[in-house]
Amino acid sequence: MSKIEGIPILSSEGSVLAIPMFILHHLQNSAQQHRIVSISIHRLKVSDMDRRRFIQTATIAGSSIAILDHTTLLSEDNQREQKPLSLARNPIVISTWDFKLPVNETAYGILNKGGRLLDAIQASINLVEADPTVTSVGHGGYPDRDGRLTLDACIMDEHGNAGSVACIENIMHPISVARCVMEKTPHVLLVGDGALQFALEQGFKKENLLTDQARAAYQEWLKSDEYKPPVDEKNHDTIGLLAMDTEGNLAGGCSTSGMAWKVHGRVGDSPLIGDGLYVDNEIGAATSTGLGEACIKVAGSFLVVESMRHGKSPAEACQIAVERVVQKQPQYKDIDDFLVGFVAMNKQGEVGALSYRKGLQYSLCKEGVNKVFDADYLIK
């Protein structure tokens, strides 16, 4: 008689066989998933009972069970030694807008060599943050109404860990600081002077990031002193990036300098987990762009992921979020240049994007090739 721990069952010849527990667990799981049978099991060893007690106590209720050839049964030790089949796949990287930089290609290259998701995301977003010609992220960003350049960023990994910074000044790479918040503190979000102090403690360099071009634009704006959020295809305020690695894991990041000429201290959706970015490695990931206040009011990126959880495609989920924005806040329909949009990817590697009105673009890198697409839009 085998010593495998299992459940005794009568063979067609009337002898008692032991069915290993791992096989019965598989049968139970299959039954629960497909609602075919209901199984009630008493965990007993063959040596603990004789044939008569087995007949009295072992029950398989309301079910039928296939006859198993005992020669095919594996021990649990042998089962553990078997390695799962490789699920390696090509990485996928999708990001908001076209920054005319090798953003997606950088992340794809790192992931294709087996690199970490967070390393790929951080390196790609660092490119945008360091470019002085990009006026809505990092170094080249436009200042607030007081002439101060404040930056926001967040990052979220495949395990649900997250870190973010908001209203941080004089630090070139807020996405890198956000990662440090995630990995080196028990917190998620640091803001303002506290975020700056933390960044300096982590070895980041304090520097003046306001470019001559941004300063000149600010001086020009002062002549009118009118606060009108300029969010359109020319001033697209956010780099949001989602990535899938070769094992099918998902992560994402966001970085922005926020609205030009904003009230000092204003924070949009970009550094807020669930608004500017959300990742659930079992379901998918989403990021947003456009008017941050509109996204915050509906927890936009979280809404997109939850819609995918309920069976919607990434494109359908993005549409649900955009529709929710204007349903809950109909005043946005009256703003001529109002824009809010979402980009999403599900666990199967399917992607989608949609904005309220025409203008949103997204970049997608698959199989080593990056292409820029015009997103669909709600108002035709």
Rounded mean pLDDT, 107-121: 98
* pLDDT of 4 above 70: no
Give the domain-ending residue among 60, 81, 102: 81
User: Does the residue 87 lie in any domain?
Assistant: no
| CA atoms of 201 and 264, how far apart (whole Å) | 24
The answer to whether residues 168 and 152 touch, using CB atoms and an 8 Å cutoff, is: yes
User: Does the residue 15 lie in any domain?
Assistant: yes
Average pLDDT taken over every residue of the chain: 82
Which carries the bigger pLDDT value, residue 92 or residue 60?
92
Two structure tokens written together for 344: 């999403």
User: Does the residue 86 lie in any domain?
Assistant: no
338 and 276, same structural domain?
yes
Give the domain-ending residue among 53, 81, 109: 81
Closest of 258, 249, 3, 64 to residue 153, by C-alpha: 258
Query: What backbone torsions phi and psi does residue 301 show, to the nearest 5 degrees?
Result: -65, -35
Compute CA 32 distance to the chain's CA centroid, rounded to the nearest angstrom: 29
138 and 57, same structural domain?
no
Q: Look up the pTM and report it.
A: 0.77
Owning domain of residue 292: 92-377
Per residue in 140-160, pLDDT (tens digit) is 999 999 999 999 999 999 999
311 and 179, same structural domain?
yes
Rounded mean pLDDT, 273-299: 97
Give the domain-ending residue among 81, 102, 132: 81
DSSP for 259-307 reads STTPPTT---STTSBTTTEEEETTTEEEEEEE-HHHHHTTTHHHHHHHH
Confidence of residue 229 (pLDDT cuts 50, 70, 90): low
121 and 44, same structural domain?
no
Compute CA 274 distance to the chain's CA centroid, rounded to the nearest angstrom: 10
141 and 62, same structural domain?
no
List 5's β-bridge partners, or say none: none
pLDDT at 151 (0 to 100): 98
340 and 255, same structural domain?
yes
Per residue in 18-51, pLDDT (tens digit) is 444 444 444 444 444 443 333 333 333 334 444 4
The answer to whether residues 354 and 375 touch, using CB atoms and an 8 Å cutoff, is: yes
Query: What backbone torsions phi and psi does residue 40 show, to the nearest 5 degrees?
Result: -115, 125
161 and 188, same structural domain?
yes
Q: What is the CATH number of the domain that holds 324?
A: 3.60.20.30
Closest of 217, 219, 162 to residue 185, by C-alpha: 162
Categorise residue 114: left if φ over 0, alpha if ψ from -120 to 50, beta otherwise.
Answer: left
Enumerate the active-site residues.
238
* pLDDT of 64 above 50: no
162 and 285, same structural domain?
yes
120 and 259, same structural domain?
yes
Closest of 367, 273, 359, 354 to residue 315, by C-alpha: 354
Two structure tokens written together for 324: 């929710």
User: Does the residue 1 lie in any domain?
Assistant: no
Confidence of residue 305 (pLDDT cuts 50, 70, 90): very high
Confidence of residue 180 (pLDDT cuts 50, 70, 90): very high
Confidence of residue 228 (pLDDT cuts 50, 70, 90): low
Burial (0-12, 13-18, 19+ Cβ within 10 Å), 266: middle
List 277's β-bridge partners, or say none: 273, 287
Look at the chain and report how many structural domains it folds into: 2
121 and 71, same structural domain?
no
Per residue in 118-140, pLDDT (tens digit) is 999 999 999 999 999 999 999 99
303-340: b (≥16 Cβ within 10 Å) or e: bbbbbbeeebbbbebbbbbbebbbeebeebeeeeebbb
CA angle, 297 then 251 then 186, to 5°: 75
User: Does the residue 291 lie in any domain?
Assistant: yes
User: Does the residue 248 lie in any domain?
Assistant: yes
* pLDDT of 86 above 80: no
DSSP state of 232: B
17 and 102, same structural domain?
no
User: Does the residue 234 lie in any domain?
Assistant: yes
Tokens 């997103």 belong to 375
User: Does the residue 45 lie in any domain?
Assistant: yes
264 and 345, same structural domain?
yes
